[in-house]
Homo-oligomer: A and B are copies of this chain.
Amino acid sequence: MAISHAAAARPRPGTPQALPSSAGSLFQLLRDGAPRTRADLAAVTGLARSTISARVEDLLGSTLVAPTGEAASTGGRPPATFAFNPGARFVLAVDLGVSHARVALTDLANRVLVEQMLDQDIAAGPAAVLGAVTDVALRLIGEVGRPLADLAGVGIGLPGPVEHDSGRPTSPPVMPGWDRFDVPGHLRETFPVPILVDNDVNIMALGEHETVYPDVEDMVLVKIASGIGAGIISDGRLQRGAQGAAGDLGHIAVPDGNDTLCTCGNVGCLEAVASGAAVAAKLREQGYEISTNADLVELVRSGDRVAVQSVRQAGREIGAVLAGLVNLLNPSVIVIGGVVAAVGEHLLAGIRESVYSRSLPLATQHLRIVGSRTEGRAGVLGASALVTQHVLSPEGINAIAGPDAG
């Protein structure tokens, strides 16, 4: 279902119009959301009032900036104020897991407008999975009553390594049929907008960072679910590594000489010892009937002592590997997320126990190890942030404000 550009190209009243790049520069000043007058903008930029007025008109025309009222008068007519209008466009944000997907529409401030979970087996392959996601997305777009012309971009997280520049999965171990699949190309047939694809743990780190810790320069998000992975923010930026494979915590050896065999072919990997799947397997050996991560979470929350002890021990093992990460990266915040993190403080306590005993004092002095605060939405929030960082940047802004996209 390709969307024709031509239909949206002619500006109509209330429809976004072309934005000259000079106005795009002015927009960067307004991105923080604070209301400003024309005089404020002239004072900051040093530009002539007449120039500012012309560029503000362009921004108002694009709807990316909207009137917010009037500033206090200093005599005479009070000056009008303007601010970034995050509702001017919307974003399709998708978090694809192994067995579930979360599809959300967000605004340009990464706030969720509407969302839907769906059961979806990633092994069904890219055409089936992306088809189901597209159907849900189009239904949600209809539900909020927005034209596709207002879609600023699509952000999508996949449960495997992604080549950042092309948006293609690279040798993903749990995604049969997806290797090198052109995800952006496929989605662009329906959504003719910027399509950004990344690893699911990377987008979780980005989502938690953007919405909860925007001022923290060095943060790591650890996802504990059936597997274990990390998303790394260093120097304020998401770090992907040379092949987009950075953050693979799950296949680091636990430093205790453990020899459990891992699916990767090595022994003693963290994921083989302390993931939700590994803990559930150990509990089954002791006669417990649990099959999913949700069963494990419920059992621990019910206060079962063996389950609590197993989760705390898994925390210690995760912490033993994180101690090395702390020495290497010296983050100030480690966020523990993923479905198994819902077991709560027992897991965090085990992690803290190992990290604080094994890492160097200087690196742990101001370190916080905390649970996720985004209530399962870190992925879609990060998928949205991938898009807004791109389309609101000085380089990206004209694409969504100009007539081609608008």
Contact = CB atoms under 8 A, between A and B. Distances in A.
Interface of A: 161, 170-171, 217-218, 230, 232, 234-235, 237, 239-249, 251-257, 264, 266, 268, 320-321, 323-325, 327-332, 357-363, 365-367
A399 to B, nearest CB: 22
Contact of A331 (B230, B242, B367): B242
A331 B248 CA distance: 12
A325 B323 contact: no
Contacts of A321: 324
Given A235-B235, A245-B360, A246-B328, 6 more contacts: A232-B329, A235-B240, A241-B329, A249-B327, A252-B323, A253-B323
A320 B247 CA distance: 17
Candidate in A264, A329, A332, A357 with the most chain B CB atoms within 10 angstroms = A329
| Among all A-B residue pairs, the 6 with the closest Cβ atoms | A241-B330, A257-B257, A253-B255, A242-B332, A252-B324, A246-B330
A246 B249 CA distance: 17
A237 B235 contact: yes
A247 B331 CA distance: 11
Report the copy number of this chain in the oligomer.
Answer: 2
16 contacts: A171-B361, A171-B362, A217-B242, A232-B328, A235-B235, A241-B329, A241-B330, A241-B331, A241-B363, A243-B366, A245-B330, A245-B362, A246-B330, A248-B330, A248-B363, A264-B360
Contacts of A171: 361-362
Nearest to A330: B241
A266 B244 CA distance: 33
Contacts of A330: 240-246, 248
A241 B257 contact: no
Candidate in A161, A232, A331, A363 with the most chain B CB atoms within 10 angstroms = A363
Contacts of A251: 327, 359-360
A170 to B, nearest CB: 6
A39 B109 CA distance: 44
A332 B246 CA distance: 11
